[in-house]
């Protein structure tokens, strides 16, 4: 069974890529910029993740590395969830 957090994140990313006519699916370790997300998409992705999980990502955690892949976002969300 896939982790529900990863499933939610993947859904958000794949919906964004679909609007850009990007790939239909994305691997957890695939670079999202290489998959077709722009820097503006990344900002929107941060906002969507905050909204989806009801969290606030601290400024210091809003780094390219934390949003490079679905796996990195999943780790970020899990760490923030544990800290709450």
Say which DSSP state 1 is in. -
Q: Rounded distance, CA 5 to CA 58, Å? A: 19
Contact indicator for 25, 14 with CB cutoff of 8 Å: yes
pLDDT digits (tens, 9 = 90+) for 38-73: 999 999 999 999 999 999 999 999 999 999 999 999
Percent of the chain with pLDDT over 90: 82
pTM score over 0.85: yes
CA distance 6 to 71: 7
CATH of segment(s) 4-83:
1.10.1200.10
**Residue 1's pLDDT is what?**
46
Domain spans of the chain, in order of start:
4-83
Beta strands in 25-78 (DSSP E): none
């Amino acid at each position: 069974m896939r982790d529900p957090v990863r499933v939610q994140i993947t859904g958000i990313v794949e919906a964004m890529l679909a609007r850009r006519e990007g790939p239909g699916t994305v691997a957890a370790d695939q670079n999202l910029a290489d998959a077709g997300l722009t820097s503006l998409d990344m900002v929107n992705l941060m906002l969507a993740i905050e909204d989806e999980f009801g969290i606030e990502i601290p400024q210091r955690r809003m780094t390219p590395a934390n949003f490079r892949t679905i796996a990195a976002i999943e780790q970020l969300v899990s760490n923030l969830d544990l800290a709450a």
